[in-house]
């Protein structure tokens, strides 16, 4: 895993770059939050391909646990991916509501994430 520093205005944003799954469990999410927090990041971008599919099954509870950690540590998170492939109405509703709030957002590109935080 590599953490690339991106910029949006004056903010330093961590982009998580990897060819492997980074988040497979709530514990992995907590580890990532701690790592980002102690490096001084308050915004992060992670790609859908680096998150286990169970995250996107809201019944598993993994998404709720992980996103609560990001919220508790006040780290804004953008998840970059193509979410139309998920047929879950509850996930679509969750994405819609998350994107309205601004703390957690689901976007299609890194550029879209960065433009939200300018």
57-97 pLDDT, tens digit each: 999 999 999 999 999 999 999 999 999 999 999 999 999 99
The answer to whether residues 9 and 15 touch, using CB atoms and an 8 Å cutoff, is no
pLDDT at residue 18 above 90? yes
CATH number, domain 2-116, options 3.30.70, 1.10.30, 1.10.4160, 3.30.750: 3.30.750
Beta partners for residue 76, in sequence order:
43
Task: Report the run of H or E that residue 4 belongs to, with start and end.
Answer: strand 2-8
| pTM exceeds 0.85 | yes
Q: What's the gap between Cα 91 and its chain centre? A: 14
Q: Across residues 18-29, what is the average pLDDT?
A: 96
The answer to whether residues 68 and 44 touch, using CB atoms and an 8 Å cutoff, is no
Alpha-carbon span 113 to 80, nearest angstrom: 8
Alpha-carbon span 96 to 37, nearest angstrom: 26
């Amino acid at each position: 895993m590599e953490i690339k520093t991106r910029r949006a205005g004056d903010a330093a944003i961590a982009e998580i770059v990897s060819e492997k799954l980074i988040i497979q469990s709530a514990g992995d999410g907590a580890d990532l939050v701690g790592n980002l927090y102690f490096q001084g990041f308050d915004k992060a971008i992670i790609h859908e391909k680096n998150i286990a599919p169970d995250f996107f099954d809201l019944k598993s509870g993994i998404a709720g646990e992980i996103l609560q950690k990001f919220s508790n540590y006040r780290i804004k998170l953008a998840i970059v991916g193509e979410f139309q492939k998920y047929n879950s109405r509850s996930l679509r509703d969750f994405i819609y509501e998350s994107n309205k709030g601004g703390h957690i957002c689901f976007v299609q590109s890194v550029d879209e994430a960065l433009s939200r935080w300018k």
